[in-house]
Amino acid sequence: MKKAILHTLIASTLALLSHQAFAAQDEVNLRMSWWGGNGRHQVTLKALEEFHKQHPNINVKAEYTGWDGHLSRLTTQIAGGTEPDVMQTNWNWLPIFSKDGTGFYNLFSVKEQLDLAQFDPKELQQTTVNGKLNGIPISVTARIFYFNDATWAKAGLEYPKTWDELLAAGKVFKEKLGDQYYPVVLEHQDTLALIRSYMTQKYNIPTIDEAGKKFAYTPEQWVEFFTMYKTMVDNHVMPSTKYYASFGKSNMYEMKPWINGEWAGTYMWNSTITKYSDNLTKPAQLVLGPYPMLPGAKDAGLFFKPAQMLSIGKSTKHPQESAMLINFLLNSKEGLKH
């Protein structure tokens, strides 16, 4: 009898230890990084909470920031093999991190966990390098104009439909509202992108001759390119890059002139505009404006691309679970509603 009890206790103990070992082994810790404003942070965090409810053995540590500094941080992580398991990435990062397609985990390898049938093959082709799927495109984005409705109403102007109307608006803003008011403000590469659009409309040529792997502009056209920037600054259409830089390195949507409506518009990726609109002093809001065109232009020079992607780090130790997380965020009702 004592032996039977002893055997039972030993068996129970071994079973308990085995269960604990299995549970510990089964627990997975992932890291996920993204950039954005507070609105994006909150909805993503809620989605991660819902994912954990459905997969209690998978813990996801959130690593989120604003845009500034995000790329440099990720570059350091990738170089050191410490990048997150799942990360929000940019389409134009592929030539930087994955020239041969091996910079990110090949998502074709986790098709059992990630339902690729939900995506257009043409869209996936844009994020495939050397036959390796480096990311799932979340959406397509384009640079377009948004205007602060309250400030433009104070100026008594309609939103510009031509470049001449845009140039003329600067003088009205200065005279009616004051030196600190501008029709638009441009940050980072947006100034170059806007003037590229103007040049495309005027000459119907791209900036880059991809076949010849060289710039397509003549020296005279380059002079015109940068003269257009000076013309916009001189006409008080937008602050100069030097003046803009004096406000520091914080995000533009966090700067006081933007919040209070002194900077009354922007030329921005439509996928990021929510965080800019959310920070305006109410009741002001951003409204979609027309796209300024030159008479007779055949091409608006509108630039669009995959907005963001979700990728898996090449150094991940949990590719299947990482794919499950992406699949949840993009293909499940619970993930999509957040």
Through-space distance between the first and last CA atoms of the chain, rounded to whole angstroms: 59
Q: What percentage of the chain reaches a pLDDT higher than 70?
A: 91
Identify the pLDDT of residue 333: 78
Q: Which residue has the higher pLDDT, 302 or 264?
A: 264
Q: Is the peptide bond before 160 cis (omega within 30 degrees of 0)?
A: no
Other CB atoms within a 10 A radius of the CB of residue 330 amount to 17
Question: 338: pLDDT confidence band, cut at 50, 70 and 90?
Answer: low
pLDDT greater than 90 at residue 24: no
Task: With 0.95 as the threshold, say if the pTM is over it.
Answer: no
- pLDDT, tens digit (0-9, with 9 covering 90-100), for 199-223: 999 999 989 887 888 999 999 999 9
Contacts (Cβ under 8 Å, ≥6 apart) of 195: 225, 226, 228, 229
- pLDDT, tens digit (0-9, with 9 covering 90-100), for 272-325: 888 899 999 999 999 999 999 999 999 999 888 887 899 999 999 999 999 999
Nearest to 288 by CA among 273, 300, 305: 273
Q: What CA–CA distance (Å, rounded) separates 113 from 324?
A: 5
- pLDDT, tens digit (0-9, with 9 covering 90-100), for 53-83: 999 999 999 999 988 899 999 999 999 999 9
Cα–Cα distances in angstroms (integers) from residue 25 to residues 11, 22, 126, in the given order: 21, 5, 37
> Could you give phi then psi for residue 188, rounded to 5 degrees?
55, -130
Question: 337: pLDDT confidence band, cut at 50, 70 and 90?
Answer: low
Q: What CA–CA distance (Å, rounded) separates 251 from 265?
A: 15
Helix (H) or strand (E) holding 30: strand 28-35
pLDDT greater than 50 at residue 38: yes
Q: What CA–CA distance (Å, rounded) separates 2 from 200?
A: 91
Identify the pLDDT of residue 231: 98
pLDDT greater than 50 at residue 238: yes
Identify the pLDDT of residue 211: 83
3-state SS class at 182: strand
Give the residue ranges of DSSP H helices in 127-183.
149-155, 163-177
Q: What percentage of the chain reaches a pLDDT higher than 90?
A: 76
Identify the pLDDT of residue 222: 97
DSSP structure string for 59-111: EEEEEEE-STTHHHHHHHHHHHT---SEEEE-GGGHHHH-TTS-SB--GGGGT
**Domains in the chain, please, with CATH?**
2-138+308-337 (3.40.190.10), 141-305 (3.40.190.10)
pLDDT greater than 60 at residue 12: no
Average pLDDT, the chain: 90
Q: What CA–CA distance (Å, rounded) separates 89 from 322?
A: 15
